[in-house]
Structure 1
Amino acid sequence: MFLSNISVPFNPSSFSAEDEEKSFSSTDSLRSAMVWKFSRAPDIADRPWEQDAESFKGNPAKSSLVRDYLFSIRKQKVMPHDCDAVVDAVTPQVCYKLYWFANQPGRLDWRKFGQKDGYKEEWPAASAWKGTPKTRLQQEAMRTLGTALLSRPGELLSYRRKHLVFGFDGQVPYVEVLPLDYRKNDPNGTKGKPQRLYRRPEGQEFLCAVRALAFWLEAAPLEDGEDAFLFRKINVGTDTVTSEPLSYGKFLQTFQCTLAELNEDYAFYGVHSFRRTGCQILHVFFRWCLRKIADWGGWSDKDGFAVIFRYLLSENDDDWYPRELWLHPFAQVRLECNECGRACGCESY
């Protein structure tokens, strides 16, 4: 028996405001079921869903309301690392604390992990996180590389062995990072440019991605060919590195655990903080102009400078210098080195 004479009574009271909002996948499944059900009735299969007196007639799957609703929840379904949530930038002081904490004697000695005379973690947070040496090495490599390249989280986790070229420029070692095949503002991978990172001088080790990558690749060599992922999952119990790529959730968890060990409020930070941190360090610490930052970070010429300002200025970021001393006549916060951004030694605070 066909459903040619089907009609549905219109009763608004049957819908409750407390009904749980459906996700896109479940809603699309319901719509597919309606399409199959009403396709068996030739008279209404292609008939739009219309109201007639106190009832509705036609195919509900053809309703414009259903189509608009599916479109609205489809637009809201984004990856977690693509959200525009405002996060704090990691100041150079916090970067140095992260570097100092990870480089305590024996904490990165992955060769002695699990041995009787190996290093034993004594910090309270270690019982909950169990940060192994290779986990800390990978975290330092991700932090310094993401900050130096102004990478988005998804881009940082997509780097493989084929994207890295090691070499020497005279006596200075460098790592040249080739552009990815896909980026948010470059889907075809045709606009990207190589980014060459040099080893930072003494005193700037906490910002040196070349050193961090060297230590990480020494502990976890890329033995699976050119397509091997740079950052991979780690078995915490044995401190062994697998061939599977590191997930976004584990990436965020590791970063927040390292901040918690320093008694930093990790709720204000996210993995997108690396991109914000890199922009602010290049602009304030190394005195880069906005045009140079836009070219280095791969921003499109259609984005405009407002996008970069969003990374440089935020009410959530901490001031690099005490605000009450900005115009102090004896506080030498204005006389800074053009190379490193540090003030002279006669500052009075």
Structure 2
Amino acid sequence: MRAAMSHKFSRDYELGTQEWQANPLISGRFYGNPSISTVVRAGEVVTSARAIDEPTMKKLWTYNTQFPVEASTSYGSTSKKRRQEHPEDWAGHSFRMLLQLLYIVSMLCLLRMSRFEKLENGVLRIRLDLPFRKTHQNGGIAPFYLYANPDKPWMCPVKAFAIMWQLAVANEGTPSGYIFRKKVGHVVHLQSTDSFMEYFRNNLLDIEIDPRPYGTHSFRRGGCQYLAMVLRWPFRNICSWGGWAENFDNPGTLFKYLLSWTDTPLLEREDYLNPNRTVGDVCPACNRSCHCS
């Protein structure tokens, strides 16, 4: 809510992004952005949702892809009676793969698939075009380009999209329309943020992870941390990709996504300088697995 107010005062009322403060030359007058003030910032401290990390994405991918394929031709529709008797069957294989695609896109695009593009060299990629978002209400958003990642299928949007396409062809013939659909009849489909969170939390319970610390911002924060700590992107590239701080005058915008007490610790205290701690995954590009790579 404060971000929306800051944007309103900054863009529509042209008050900029300076902190709200008293005018030293005119008594009783102020200048700057009213929602960026010491009083407003001193309110209740916001607790960020815990970031989704790559190991959790891998567990979700493994569980969902190995879930038995349902006999039904619909996207994971399950009878009410069966859901009551077997709560673990809250969704079928097809719908779980739909969620998996949404997880990957939300994380890589920092929570912000519209079509396949085939390049001249035969490489497939997905281009995501958004009509608007919080900081761009009237459009003008640069597209997101997503490529295949065969070394990490749990982070590969092209593979997840291809699986969804194959399932759709098998069930409906040549698919058309929206990928993430609203509820149709008795078939379970995504229709709101609340319904997505219900399915996401059920999925976390499937892999024995407490869902309470997580929210929709988990993918935004997790994607930011993945780009910074796993792919080693420079901060400037992350800001440009996510559409944050166009003039880079507010480094706190990025920092709050990189670090929070709610996040799962990445390293035990005793291992920070331990020369014999377990090495990381081998990088497919440089073939290194040391922690300084």
The TM-score with structure 1 as length reference comes to 0.59
2:235 to 260, 270, 290: 290
The amino acid of 2:93's aligned partner reads: P
Q: Which runs of 5 or more structure 1 residues have no equivalent in the other structure? A: 1-83, 115-121, 153-158
Q: Distance in 2 between matches of 1:275 and 1:341?
A: 28
Q: Does 1:273 align with 2:233?
A: no
Q: Distance in 2 between matches of 1:164 and 1:275?
A: 22
The equivalences for 1:47-58 within 5 A come to none
Corresponding residue of 2:138: 188
SS at match of 1:187: coil
Aligned length: 235
Q: Which 10-residue stretch deviates more, 284-293 or 336-345? A: 336-345
Corresponding residue of 2:125: 174
Going from structure 1 to structure 2, the CA distance change for 1:334 and 1:136 (only over 3 Å counts) comes to closer
Going from structure 1 to structure 2, the CA distance change for 1:332 and 1:98 (only over 3 Å counts) comes to closer
Which has the higher relative contact order, 1 or 2, with Cα contacts under 8 A spaced 6 or more apart?
Answer: 2
The amino acid of 1:131's aligned partner reads: A
Q: Does 1:250 align with 2:195?
A: yes
Corresponding residue of 2:252: 306
SS at match of 1:196: strand
The amino acid of 1:146's aligned partner reads: S
Root-mean-square deviation (Å): 3.5
Q: Distance in 2 between matches of 1:135 and 1:270?
A: 20
Q: Does 1:219 align with 2:167?
A: yes
Q: Does 1:316 align with 2:237?
A: no
Q: Distance in 2 between matches of 1:167 and 1:125?
A: 45
Answer whether contact 1:135 1:234 (CA < 8 A) is retained.
Answer: no
Q: Does 1:199 align with 2:148?
A: yes
The equivalences for 1:1-349 within 5 A come to 85-104=47-66, 107=68, 109-110=69-70, 112-113=71-72, 126-127=86-87, 130-152=90-112, 163-168=114-119, 170-178=121-129, 180-190=130-140, 192-202=141-151, 204-220=152-168, 228-233=177-182, 240=187, 246-301=191-246, 304-331=250-277, 337=283, 339=285, 343-344=289-290
Q: Distance in 2 between matches of 1:187 and 1:235?
A: 29
Answer whether contact 2:94 2:164 (CA < 8 A) is retained.
Answer: yes
Deviation at 1:151, TM superposition (A): 1.5
Deviation at 1:195, TM superposition (A): 1.3
Q: Which runs of 5 or more structure 2 residues have no equivalent in the other structure? A: 1-45, 74-81
Going from structure 1 to structure 2, the CA distance change for 1:124 and 1:201 (only over 3 Å counts) comes to farther
Corresponding residue of 1:58: none
Going from structure 1 to structure 2, the CA distance change for 1:323 and 1:341 (only over 3 Å counts) comes to farther
Corresponding residue of 1:51: none
Q: Distance in 2 between matches of 1:219 and 1:306?
A: 43
Answer whether contact 2:107 2:220 (CA < 8 A) is retained.
Answer: yes
SS at match of 1:267: coil
Deviations along 1:255-295, one digit per CA (max 9) or x if unpaired, are 00000111101001112111111111111111001100011
The amino acid of 2:65's aligned partner reads: N
Deviation at 1:89, TM superposition (A): 0.7
The TM-score with structure 2 as length reference comes to 0.69
Deviation at 1:321, TM superposition (A): 2.8
Q: Distance in 2 between matches of 1:318 and 1:175?
A: 31
Q: Distance in 1 between matches of 2:90 and 2:264?
A: 29
Q: Distance in 2 between matches of 1:167 and 1:100?
A: 28
Q: Distance in 1 between matches of 2:135 and 2:246?
A: 10
The amino acid of 1:318's aligned partner reads: T
